[in-house]
């Protein structure tokens, strides 16, 4: 399984939420911007760690859903989402 990091740059996020429809791990946060919640997917159990600071949300996953995260990144009109494979 690929290990990968999903980053949302808060400055770039406009709260358009195209990402949510591509990957249910993206959720709307209280601030109106996208967040990542590994447990938000109602269909699949998903484990991952999330760091959330003033500038960005960075989530690390180790599963077979890299392509979904990539689709969310592609759907984001402001290119706020970056998906990168990382070494295990």
Q: Which is nearer to ligand SF4, 2 or 15 (CB)?
A: 15
Alpha carbons 58 and 53: distance in angstroms, whole number: 9
Residue ranges with strand state E in 1-88: 3-9, 26-28, 34-36, 48-52, 56-62, 81-86
- Among 3, 11, 15, 49, indicate the residue that binds ligand SF4 (CB under 6 A): 15
Applying CB under 6 A, which part among 36-44, 46-54, 57-65, 75-83 lies near ligand SF4?
75-83
Q: Which is nearer to ligand SF4, 75 or 88 (CB)?
A: 75
């Amino acid at each position: 399984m690929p290990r990968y990091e999903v980053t949302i740059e808060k400055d770039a996020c406009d709260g358009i939420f195209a990402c949510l429809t591509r990957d249910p791990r993206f959720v709307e946060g209280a601030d109106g911007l996208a967040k990542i919640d590994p447990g938000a997917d109602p269909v699949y159990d998903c484990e991952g760690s999330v760091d959330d600071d003033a500038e960005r949300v960075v989530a690390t996953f180790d599963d077979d859903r890299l392509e979904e995260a990539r689709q969310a990144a592609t759907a984001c009109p402001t290119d706020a989402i970056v998906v990168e494979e990382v070494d295990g």
